[in-house]
Amino acid sequence: MNNRYEAWKKHAVLDSHTQSQLLHLTPQEIEECFGADVEFGTAGMRGLLGPGPNRLNLVTIRKATVGFVTYIKHIQSTQEHLQGVAIAYDNRYMSKEFAYEAAATLAIYGITSYVYESLRSTPQLSFTVRELHCAGGIMITASHNPKEYNGFKVYDYTGCQLVPHDIDMVIKAIGNIQDELAIVVADHHYLSPLIRKVDESIDKLYQKKVMDIALRPEVNKDIKIVFTSVHGAGFPVVPEVLEHSGYTIINVEDQIIHDPAFSNTKSPNPEEAIAYERAIEVGKENDAHLLLCTDPDADRMGVVVKHKGEYQLLSGNQTGAVLIEYLLSTLKEKHLLKEKSVIFNTIVTSDLPQMVAEHYGVEVEKTLTGFKFIGEKIEAYSKTKEKHFVLGFEESYGYLVEPFVRDKDAVQACLILAEAAAYYATHHKTLVDVLNELTIRHGYYHDTQVSLTLKGLEGNARIKGIMQGLRAQPLTHIGPLKVIKSQDYLSLTETKDGVTSPLVGFVNADVLKYFLDNGSWVAVRPSGTEPKCKFYYCVKGENQLDAEQLFEQLQSSMASVVS
């Protein structure tokens, strides 16, 4: 570790900012920055900014890009019509610098890059890969993480994040790089004709595609919508799409500034209630019907609804249930609901959206967490025509309505949810009214996620210890409820009544799921993008209060098990 630190300190071509940081590290910081390599996992690379191999900086970006070159060369050798890499980035510190560093690194290997000159959303990056017939894509973003983070996500030629058998190729290539400091990007690489700027024509094509997904363009749009991008890439694209579609948009002016410090928001994460505080203030000032929030790279959307004079935040699961109800009821009414329609969501998504879909005769297929698995299924069915895609979504506020993008798309989601709100308003209902009707029809659920944040090398070891402990001593009860079945996605096994059988249709993932005897379930998984161990609860009750009280018992029980 110390040898590595000294090598970085003495390296002649490090940028001045990194050199300065290296000189002021404490012994503990040296251990954190040089005691490991920043992990390139199944969701790409995400981590703290800073010097050293265990942080995101120009050196680790070069290293990751060289690893990605292996995939690009492979694709270009088998599909010659696919050429180059599309690159986009969000508002974070060093995002633009990382984007152009990746482009210059690709130029070393003779690979063309198509780079945006200013920030764009993750879904637009996915769209650009497909539109320009690229062999792959790079998105510089840390999604909804705090300001100290950035990330490097890689995409295949379909515009989908790399799935495990492809990402393994990249991870192996990165692992074979013995000395990241030996990757030198010379000045002329930044000036290479292989680095091409993407013009605004792609923006117009993308926005038109989004506006074309409207199911009821004729609906009365007499509702007021407050929008915040929490300083990220959702502005200006979301307001532009909504305004061109006829909606009245009130921007949270001090939060639509592209600011890497997230100065005017308490959180850039739509999963956290504090992210909406300023938007709710603006909503009250303007008597708005609906508040929409996109995360920094605009792939996730959060929703607050004015209901009976109060502003109510919907969870990702609740929003998914309402979206499914609106989409399927509308498609059915207009005789557009096709046979063998399918909705994709994940193994940690609530049961309520599935029940809504099945009410309309629509199948729900489960995937592992990570929208790449949904994108993979979309691609497969696009070839076989066996099933017709309607919606893909994750409980973590990610939705995709039309697959001209192959990742979560908050721009699409904002448009369809605005349309749903406008339509139900003509029937004197809010989206909360619709949600309440769904719970009466299908049952009461309390769905939530609780995260245990454990930072640094010690925290990572603790998370691994939690998962190992749960496997070493299988749970028989959680709170007052009996575990009637468990699934281990790492060993791909399912255990019921003492009998273990194979769990098919999935790749290995570090997830445990427990099914309880009243129809509830609990799942546990380490986050692939944050230093967290996540606990997911889908709690079924006789009524809402009963479900909430049962959740408290289950949470307390799980907390005592992993403490």
Q: Which of 207, 65, 58 is nearest to 138 (CA)?
A: 65
Q: Which of 399, 371, 398, 403 is nearest to 387 (CA)?
A: 403
**Beta strand residue intervals within 84-148, DSSP E:** 85-89, 113-115, 136-140
31/25 Cα distance (integer angstroms): 10
| Assigned token pair, 487 | 């699934």
3-state secondary structure 213-224: CCCCCCCCCCCE
Q: Calculate Rg over the CA atoms of the chain.
A: 23
329 belongs to the catalytic site: no
| Assigned token pair, 166 | 């492809």
Q: Quick one: CA dihedral 546, 551, 556, 557, positive or negative?
A: positive
Sheet holding 85-89, edge to edge: 40-41, 44-48, 149-155, 136-140, 85-89, 113-115, 195-197
**Burial of residue 468, with CB atoms counted within 10 A of its CB: 0-12 exposed, 13-18 middle, 19 or more buried:** exposed
Residues 107, 220 contacting (CB under 8 angstroms):
no
The residue type found at 121 is S
192/382 Cα distance (integer angstroms): 37
Residues 510, 467 contacting (CB under 8 angstroms):
yes
313 CB-near residues (< 8 Å, 6+ apart):
273, 276, 302, 303, 304
Q: 177-204 burial string, b = 16+ CB within 10 Å, else e?
A: eeebbebebeeebeebebbeebeeebbe
Residues 443, 320 contacting (CB under 8 angstroms):
no
What does the angle CA 43 – CA 416 – CA 136 come to, to the nearest 5 degrees? Answer: 30
Residues 541, 547 contacting (CB under 8 angstroms):
yes
What does the angle CA 479 – CA 485 – CA 486 come to, to the nearest 5 degrees? Answer: 85
Q: Which of 55, 32, 26 is nearest to 458 (CA)?
A: 32
| Assigned token pair, 549 | 């009280």
In sequence order, the β-bridge partners of residue 154 are 138
Residue indicated by tokens 């690229």: 134
Annotated catalytic residue, options 95, 121, 126, 143: 143
In sequence order, the β-bridge partners of residue 207 are none
Query: Strand 85-89 vs strand 136-140: parallel, antiparallel, or unpaired?
Result: parallel
Query: Strand 477-478 vs strand 481-488: parallel, antiparallel, or unpaired?
Result: antiparallel
In sequence order, the β-bridge partners of residue 398 are 300, 394
**Burial of residue 52, with CB atoms counted within 10 A of its CB: 0-12 exposed, 13-18 middle, 19 or more buried:** buried
Which residues are designated catalytic? Answer: 143
